[in-house]
Structures are given as C-alpha cells and as structure tokens.
Amino acid sequence: MDLIPFYKMSGSGNDFIVIDNRNGSVTVNDLPPFVVKVCRRRLSVGADGLILIEPSARVDFSWRFFNADGSVAEMCGNGARCAARFAHLTGIAKADMAFDTLAGTVTAQVRGDQVRIGMSAPRDIFLEQTIDLPTGPLTLDHLNTGVPHAVITVPDVDAVDLDTLGRAVRHHSRFAPAGTNVNVIAPRGAGLWAIRTYERGVEGETLACGTGVVAAALVLALRHGLPSPVILATRGGSRLKVHFQRIGHLLSGFGLEGDARVIYQGRLCPEAWAY
C-alpha cells in the first residue's frame, strides 16, 4: 500500500484522523483492526476516531466514521465539523455543503475554523427515567441525537467519578445491546452549563462530544425552558453552541456550532498499523 495522506484534526478537543478516500487509497481488507491500530496513542497517530471521506452521487461527499475501537458510529457532531472543514480546505466542497452519514444527510457552513452543522431531529426522547445501579437508583434523561445519549444533571461535574458512572450506565441492561453514551451536566452561572462525556467506542471520557452537547442542550430546553442558543462548556475548555427554533413546546431546526482545527498533516506509513 502507498503512503496514505491524512489530516489530524480537533473539534473542541475531540481528535480525529481524516482521510480523503474518494480514490480508494485505504485498501486494507479489514478496516476495524486498521482503525484500532492507527488510533492507538503512543504506538501510532492516536485519535478518538477515524473519518473516511468518500464519493456521493447525491451530495458533496459521504463519510464513514469509526470510533477508536473500530466500531462504526452513525453520527459524531465534532467529527462532522472536522469533516466539513477538511472538505472545504481540500476543495472537495464549498463553504456551504451537504454530506451523507448513517444518521442522514448533514448540512454544514464553514466560516474560518468555526463550523455550524445541521443536526437531525432527536428521537426516542425519554425524560426523567430511573435506572437501578449497584449504588442505588439514578434518574436521567435519554434520547438519540444521531447516537444514543444519557444525560444526568449533577451539582458539580468535576466531583463525578465519570469512569465508574459512565461504565455502569453505558452497559446498563436498559440500553442493551447497543449501549449508550453518558453525559453529566451542571450549571455554571449566567446561563452557561458544563458538560463531561463518557463515550462508547472510546470507552472513556473525551474532551468533548458534539452529539452529547446537542442531547444536553435539548434536555435543558425541554426541562428548563432554556432559549436558543444553549451554550455548554466542554472538558477541553471549548464552548459549543446548540441552535434551535421553538414553537410552543416543539423544537426544530437543530444546529451545532464550534471549532474544527487542523493540528497537522502527514502520511501514514504501513508501520503505523503493522505492529
């Protein structure tokens, strides 16, 4: 296999390997092990996920998104912003574009290193659900914003043992067999909320999760009446904005806005995954 050009990108601290695969440059027969190897930190490039940009007959391009464990995810908000900026920087698409994901067609507007993407309407919304954990009952909200998310309101996100709580909720029988991502949120004052996310597929905390931020914002809008845009401060220090329209009790027109930065460009050598 020839050397594979790639961009290393970060969306609010969620980092990705992005590859233009429209010409089929990634020819490995079994992609999940390849993804696991190149996403492994210290032994290879290291990332929370890998994105392949591929052709589409309908829109500007399509993508395949892989978590760091090699599993396929239907959607990733931070990854989608990085994919959009990559496509614009490399001439694949204009600043206003559309691309296909397993969660549906995503629209995006690139303005410098800031990208706003349109998000599909949430589904399977269950507010104030109670599950039983070894530590006792836990009340949470659950919804799907392209991928499933549990949202747990706490007094202080920094005081939560997220690895322990995240694993327990992520693997709870209520969310089997697919499991769920887990978010804890807390007010920070002046309309700002903090969020931390445990991501399935990464199986640990990440510095940001776009679909998790959207899930949290919708819970805050539905349960607390917060107006658009809802702003959440991520673990990585970025602030992500979630836009929507409200008509009575109905919400629509969802969008996620935040940074998508290029960290570096490189070429993957076979030794990046042949170990």
Tokens matching residue 264:
């570096």
| Of 15, 97, 90, 92, the residue nearest 54 (C-alpha) | 92
Name the residues annotated as catalytic.
Answer: 76, 209
Strand pairing class (114-118; 250-259)? antiparallel
Q: Which of 94, 79, 56 is nearest to 199 (CA)?
A: 79
Give the count of alpha carbons within 13 A of 65, CB side only: 27
Pairing mode of beta strands 49-54, 96-101: unpaired
* Amino acid at position 96, single letter: D
| Residue 202 CB neighbour total at 10 angstroms | 20
Eight-class DSSP state of 271: G
- Contact (Cβ atoms closer than 8 angstroms) between residue 108 and residue 204: no
Q: Which residue has the tokens 């695969």?
A: 21
First to last CA, the chain: 15
How far apart are the C-alpha atoms of 158 and 238, rounded to whole Å?
A: 16
